[in-house]
Amino acid sequence: MTALVWYRRDLRVHDHPALCAALGAHDRVVPVFCLDDRLLHGRHASGARTQFLLESLRDLDASLRRRGSGLVVRHGPPERELPALAREVGAGALHFSSDVTPFARMRGARTRSALEAAGVELCGHPGVNVVDDAGALRTRAGRPYTVFSPFHRSWQQEPRRAVLGAPRTLPALPAGLTKGRVPALASLGLEQEVEDPPEGGEGPGRRRLEGFLATDLAAYGSGHDDLGGDRTSRLSPYLHLGCVSARAVEERLAGGDGPAAFRRQLCWRDFHHHVLLHFPHNATTEFQERYRGTIRWSRAERRFAAWCEGRTGYPLVDAGMRQLRREGWMHNRARLVAGSFLTKDLGIDWRWGERFFMRLLVDGDEANNNGNWQWIASVGTDPQPVYRRIYNPARQMASHDPSGTYVRRYVPELARVPDEYLAEPWTMPDGVQRLAACVIGRDYPRPIVDHAQARREALERYRV
Ligand SMILES: Cc1cc2nc3c(=O)[nH]c(=O)nc-3n(C[C@H](O)[C@H](O)[C@H](O)COP(=O)(O)OP(=O)(O)OC[C@H]3O[C@@H](n4cnc5c(N)ncnc54)[C@H](O)[C@@H]3O)c2cc1C
């Protein structure tokens, strides 16, 4: 019997429970990916992330071909394309990795009805998260978690499945089947907006993982917030599209505090997936009811544009936003500072920031992006008093980029500003500005708000 393996965001051959189960139960297996315009051109459309996706699909196709098979590519909604393909190849089953986002679930449900009507059995498998079913974890009271630490404790106790190897060989695709091609980005009507993005695919993802594991992981706990040191794994785009398996990454971690701190970050990913599964309305509205429609967000377009362009006059915020534009990725600490600045200092709706991040981030992930934006805007799960999450950009720089390495890397006009003025360059005396070739208001913007005053206003805004 023949089975389809429906690839979505599990674009790999290693540690792929759906692929292995299909191979174990069927003589012939047809791996397929559907390019879906609702995703490519939907509210989270992104040229950068789609380019990463296309590279990952090419890499997957090459990997499947090396094993004797190949990736069938269809352009259209899976609820239409998959029953048609199942009929064409005589498939009686479809295997896939379960996913939690509201869109994935809506699409999954439609695809399920269409396939069941065509007499095809659907088999869901783990493979997206570290634990098999991150959605199933419950508090003692039997409720979904809304606070990270107890979720983390229970997550650590969950049993883990064994990591699976990649199949050595695969059955050939049925003769005469039109395989379809991975298109070029431009033919999808999208454009690469990022200058220097990472390369997509399981091969590049596995190389990055090996490179990261070869670093001193013992220092991850103390070093992951060091902006200039750039010591995090940068695995997020590969984890988002499943080019590397989160479970397989965890399996490679040794004992000790550094690896434990890294494992905890992987748990944040599962936590945000858990939350979005149980609170799908979070995708559009605040988790905390008291903030729904009650905060008067600013609609200052010019200030928003200055934030997007990295021209706020606050070096750490600007460095983060320019890293995003350059690499399609931003260090977590910079995301926090930029997010706090947009929502607290500028008082702009977190959804504007969420949307802009989704446009440029190669790791843009509905659950992680939404969960983190709500977190930093103080409207989400894991609540803390608002004042705790109003970050002072100058103080954050003193703690996490004391030598200015990160800021100078991404904001070249500040390269010659002396260390003592780098966090607040507008305090430079005129002579120093001239010597540093950085005249404020000409070479680098004046700050677009006063942080101390903005902080007071933010506290007022949240008093609902
Ligand atoms: C405003 C904001 C928006 C964000 N948007 C996204 C997003 O769209 N996609 C995304 O993957 N992450 C997002 N994050 C979380 C985090 O910034 C990135 O996961 C991290 O910077 C990725 O870099 P890394 O792979 O080097 O992380 P590492 O430090 O090496 O961590 C390993 C992995 O753990 C996971 N992880 C780490 N921190 C978090 C976190 N806070 N929440 C969820 N997962 C985490 C990621 O999968 C990451 O790849 C966002 C954070 C903020 C503050």
pLDDT of residue 169: 98
Do 323 and 261 share a structural domain? no
Do 117 and 27 share a structural domain? yes
Residue with the smallest CA separation from ligand 1 atom 41 is 268
Q: Residue 95, Cα to own-chain centre: how many angstroms? A: 24
Do 365 and 252 share a structural domain? no
Closest CA to 282 of 351, 384, 337: 351
pTM reported for the whole predicted model: 0.98
Q: Is 411 in the pocket of ligand 1 (CB under 6 A)?
A: no
Q: Is residue 100 part of a domain?
A: yes
101: domain CATH number is 3.40.50.620
Do 146 and 236 share a structural domain? yes
Q: Is residue 174 part of a domain?
A: no
271: domain CATH number is 1.25.40.80
Q: Is 101 in the pocket of ligand 1 (CB under 6 A)?
A: no
Residue with the smallest CA separation from ligand 1 atom 3 is 369
Q: Residue 335, Cα to own-chain centre: how many angstroms? A: 12
Collapsing DSSP to helix, strand or coil, 125 comes out as strand
Do 294 and 394 share a structural domain? yes
Residue with the smallest CA separation from ligand 1 atom 6 is 369
The domain in which residue 387 lies consists of 290-461
Q: Is 266 in the pocket of ligand 1 (CB under 6 A)?
A: yes
Q: How many domains does the chain have?
A: 3
pLDDT of residue 395: 97
419: domain CATH number is 1.10.579.10
Q: Is 361 in the pocket of ligand 1 (CB under 6 A)?
A: yes
Q: Is residue 378 part of a domain?
A: yes
Q: Is residue 306 part of a domain?
A: yes
Do 267 and 409 share a structural domain? no
Do 103 and 232 share a structural domain? no
Q: Is residue 326 part of a domain?
A: yes
Do 72 and 37 share a structural domain? yes
Q: Is residue 104 part of a domain?
A: yes
Do 266 and 135 share a structural domain? yes
Q: Is 46 in the pocket of ligand 1 (CB under 6 A)?
A: no
Q: Is residue 325 part of a domain?
A: yes
Q: 70 φ, ψ to 5°?
A: 165, 165
pLDDT of residue 383: 80
Give me Rg for the CA atoms of the chain: 23
Contacts of 452 (CB under 8 A, 6+ apart): none
Q: Is 268 in the pocket of ligand 1 (CB under 6 A)?
A: yes
Amino acid identity of residue 74, one-letter, is R
pLDDT of residue 185: 98
Report d(CA 359, CA 17) in Å as an integer.
Answer: 31
CA of 303 to the centre of ligand 1 (A): 26
Do 234 and 157 share a structural domain? yes
CA of 368 to the centre of ligand 1 (A): 7
Residue-wise pLDDT for 339-396, tens only, equals 999 999 999 999 999 999 999 999 999 999 999 999 999 999 988 889 889 999 999 9
pLDDT of residue 464: 83
Task: List, for the chain, all residue ranges whose pLDDT scores fall below the cut of 50.
Answer: none
Q: How many CB atoms lie within 10 A of CB 6?
A: 25
